[in-house]
Structure 1
Amino acid sequence: MMPPAAADVLAMAGEQVLTAARSVWPGADVLPGPVTPSVTSYVQRLTVDGRDLYAKVSVCGVSLVSLLRGACGGLATVRARQAAYLVSPGSLMAREAVQLRTLAGPARLGTVALAGYDRGVLFTEPVPGLTLADLIEAEPGRTRELLDLVVRDVAKGLARAGVAEAVESAPIRERGISGTFARKFNGLSGGVYLRQTGHGEALDTVVTRLRRARRIPPAPGRTVVFGDLKPEHATFLMGDGRPVYLDPGLMRGHAVADTAKLVSRLTLGLIAHHPAATVVVLGGIDSFVRASARRLPAEERTGWLRELVLLVLMDTLNIMTTYLTAPADLPLSARAAGVRDRARHVVDLLDHATAPLDATEDPATWWRLYLTRVREALAT
């Protein structure tokens, strides 16, 4: 059975967005706008009686890349599965709607305004301002300060009363780094998947090293984490120093998970686009990580730094392989395209940065060598 074409899947999702919008706002003038490039969910701008909104829908609960590679069958099967998924109370967008209310409610964090939810489609208002990634690029000397602000703000909010209970009812574990790594690189299918990237042999070695280093995973985390704290998921409003968060993946996990995703995606952005002052930004990342470790009790520092490095490497592998296996007819964001264009350098980074995992148990050495490999990637 042939996998569905991207154009057909995107058209189907666009129809579902319009149907849901007309259900939420009956009689309103609904005008579809441009589709935002994404490898995960379908995201589209639209206006409802002149009001700008974003609509988001998950197709069959898997990434668009997996779907277009045939994970859910052909188009007819995808349509049937999607019809059932949209009305499921456990659909990804249903849980994300709950989580946005949790962020705005008991967590008391700044978050994107939820405009509506219907038939598996989530509607939110745009957030004007600069993302964390954009702000760091504009003010590289503030890298450590900005990272510290975001991580502390999120941790404080998610530790508030009532948050853990709300998360238990609607966790989004799909966006976790460890879970994604385990799903993507499990068994024989993992090897087949790696070969489709064009760098199968080198990446198979990377996966093996990461598995060995994490043979005994850390105890299950009891901390509530944001789960998908990418630099573009924190936006600073004009004139307001506190960030607004979007696209949560709240779940219980290791407290370092959010820091790891921020570090992974920021360094990938540096490699992909070589913005000005890359040395300053990387120095700020290093300073932030070291300061974060120093604040921990001495007996926790080694475990925290060990998990940080492993999660950074896992996340880098997770997202790069997604970009590399995306079908040619699926539009990619500028960041995703940049990573794909410089994939050889990222593969070398992963290969060289995972080699010390077999040679030493010292996480401080792992971190220093990871930064060295990032600098080498930036120099090429």
Structure 2
Amino acid sequence: MTRPVAADVLAMAGEQVLTAAQVLWPGAVVLPGPVVPSVTSYVQQLHVDGSPLYAKVSVCGTSLVSVTRGACGDIETVRARQAAYLASPSSLMAREAEQLRTLSGPARLTVAPLAGYARGALFTGPVAGRTLADLIEAEPGRTRELLALVVRDVTDGLAREGVGDVVERAAIRERGISGTFRRKFNGLSGPVYLRQTGHGETLGVVADRLRRARRLPPGRGSAVIFGDLKPEHALFADGGGPVYLDPGLMRGHTVADTAKLASRLVLGLVARRPAAACVVLAGADSYVQAATQRMPADERSGWLRELVVLALMDTLNILTTYLTAPPDLPLSTQAAGVRDRARRVADLLDHATAPLATTADGATLWRLYLTRVREAVTAS
């Protein structure tokens, strides 16, 4: 089998965007714009009768990296599978459209404006402002404040009446940390996949440690969570509150949203190594300490341990995706930066997972995690 060329996959998705736009806005002038580098879904800027929009398509319900590595067959097989997938009422973008309506409706959160959905393509309006990651980098002394604001805003919104009903029928479990970890690192294909990263020996040990790590009981994970709360998925306009993109609502432990924020914030620091990185880490630590200070000792320890395990799982998930991306698939600046410093990230994962087998105390694991992060950020 010949793996699909990335340009062919992107061209196919671009054609589907144009078809969907013509269905939604018949007779409109649709001008395609640049493709946004992504390892997950196809994202493209465009103008419809002069109005700027973003279009998003999921190819076969899996990541672009998997598709372009040949996981869904050659390009003709991908085309056939994609045609069936786009027609499904449970396709990823159909669920994301429903989730955006839920977030702006019963959850009363501010989200990217939903412009339309048709034939597997989701269209949203642009959001002006700086991402949470950019704002933290520009104002590192506000790290604790900004993290607290976003987590509180999301947690309060998702706890409102009517949100849970939608999640039951339109959950996006594909974006969950634990589920992604299980899919990627199963007993059969996981070792083969890890060898393709160029750091298979180290990352294989990391994956094994995380599989064996002590976790919170599954029954504790019944809250509605955002599921994909990355720093780049919360934008701030000047003087305004957060606006959210790319939800992945599902049920899970509330700590999972904080874990993804922590993991992706850390990866940004490792990739860019800003001068104020240690200030940002101190602010993140301060936020975590404040968020857990009123918990009973056992609950606090379990929450912090779950935070560390999930953050490390998420880091392994996305690092391996970046490292196995074919060279013809465009990467974002941060993805390229993480890949360039993959050895540092692999060492961070190795050193931070080592205590999981011998240390049960969550506060200790969190402190050791931060120590290893500082080492990775400051290493040359």
TM-score, reference length from structure 1: 0.98
Shift of 1:220: 5.2
CA offsets 1:223-277 (integer angstroms, 9 cap, x no match): 000000000000012221x101010000000010000000000011000001231
The answer as to whether partners of 2:175 and 2:228 remain within 8 angstroms in 1 is yes
Which residue in 2 is equivalent to 1:336?
Answer: 335
Which residue in 1 is equivalent to 2:98?
Answer: 98
CA offsets 1:31-83 (integer angstroms, 9 cap, x no match): 00000000000000000000000000000000000111111111110000000
Q: What amino acid is the match of 2:108?
A: R
Shift of 1:292: 0.9
Shift of 1:296: 2.8
CA offsets 1:143-181 (integer angstroms, 9 cap, x no match): 000000000000000000000011111000000000000
Pick closer, same or farther for the CA change 1:356–1:299 going to 2, 3 Å: closer
C-alpha separation in 1, matches of 2:151 and 2:215: 28
Q: What amino acid is the match of 2:374?
A: R
C-alpha separation in 2, matches of 1:125 and 1:353: 40
Which residue in 1 is equivalent to 2:266?
Answer: 267
Shift of 1:215: 7.0
Q: Does 1:80 align with 2:73?
A: no
C-alpha separation in 1, matches of 2:224 and 2:262: 19
Aligned counterparts, 1:1-380, within 5 A:
1-214=1-214, 218-219=218-219, 221-240=221-240, 242-380=241-379
C-alpha separation in 2, matches of 1:272 and 1:215: 29
C-alpha separation in 2, matches of 1:224 and 1:295: 22
C-alpha separation in 2, matches of 1:97 and 1:215: 32
CA offsets 1:168-203 (integer angstroms, 9 cap, x no match): 110000000000000000012000000000000111
Q: Say which is worse superposed, 370-379 or 4-13, in terms of deviation.
A: 370-379
C-alpha separation in 2, matches of 1:147 and 1:296: 19
Pick closer, same or farther for the CA change 1:288–1:124 going to 2, 3 Å: same
Shift of 1:290: 1.1
Q: What amino acid is the match of 1:351?
A: D
C-alpha separation in 2, matches of 1:314 and 1:228: 14
Q: Secondary structure at the match of 1:355?
A: helix
CA offsets 1:303-339 (integer angstroms, 9 cap, x no match): 1111101000000000000000000000000000000
C-alpha separation in 2, matches of 1:217 and 1:195: 32
C-alpha separation in 2, matches of 1:229 and 1:22: 32
The answer as to whether partners of 1:234 and 1:243 remain within 8 angstroms in 2 is yes
Q: Secondary structure at the match of 2:54?
A: strand
C-alpha separation in 1, matches of 2:52 and 2:368: 46
C-alpha separation in 1, matches of 2:158 and 2:216: 27
Q: What amino acid is the match of 1:47?
A: H
Shift of 1:299: 4.0
Pick closer, same or farther for the CA change 1:73–1:332 going to 2, 3 Å: same
The answer as to whether partners of 2:304 and 2:363 remain within 8 angstroms in 1 is yes
Aligned CA RMSD, in angstroms, stands at 1.0
The answer as to whether partners of 1:264 and 1:313 remain within 8 angstroms in 2 is yes
C-alpha separation in 1, matches of 2:218 and 2:27: 53
The answer as to whether partners of 1:106 and 1:161 remain within 8 angstroms in 2 is yes
Shift of 1:84: 0.7
Q: What amino acid is the match of 1:35?
A: V
Q: Secondary structure at the match of 1:331?
A: coil
Shift of 1:291: 1.0
Point out where structure 1 has 5 or more consecutive residues left out of the alignment.
none
Q: Secondary structure at the match of 2:45?
A: strand
Q: Secondary structure at the match of 2:348?
A: helix
C-alpha separation in 2, matches of 1:217 and 1:182: 17
Pick closer, same or farther for the CA change 1:152–1:194 going to 2, 3 Å: same
Give the 4+ runs in structure 1 shifted more than 6 A: none
TM-score, reference length from structure 2: 0.98
Q: Percent identity?
A: 76
C-alpha separation in 1, matches of 2:174 and 2:378: 34
The answer as to whether partners of 1:154 and 1:226 remain within 8 angstroms in 2 is yes
Point out where structure 2 has 5 or more consecutive residues left out of the alignment.
none
C-alpha separation in 1, matches of 2:225 and 2:215: 23
The answer as to whether partners of 1:137 and 1:276 remain within 8 angstroms in 2 is no
Q: What amino acid is the match of 1:190?
A: G
Pick closer, same or farther for the CA change 1:146–1:66 going to 2, 3 Å: same
Q: Secondary structure at the match of 1:187?
A: coil
The answer as to whether partners of 2:216 and 2:302 remain within 8 angstroms in 1 is no
C-alpha separation in 1, matches of 2:47 and 2:248: 26
Number of equivalences? 379
Q: What amino acid is the match of 1:105?
A: G
The answer as to whether partners of 2:215 and 2:305 remain within 8 angstroms in 1 is no
Q: Secondary structure at the match of 1:46?
A: strand
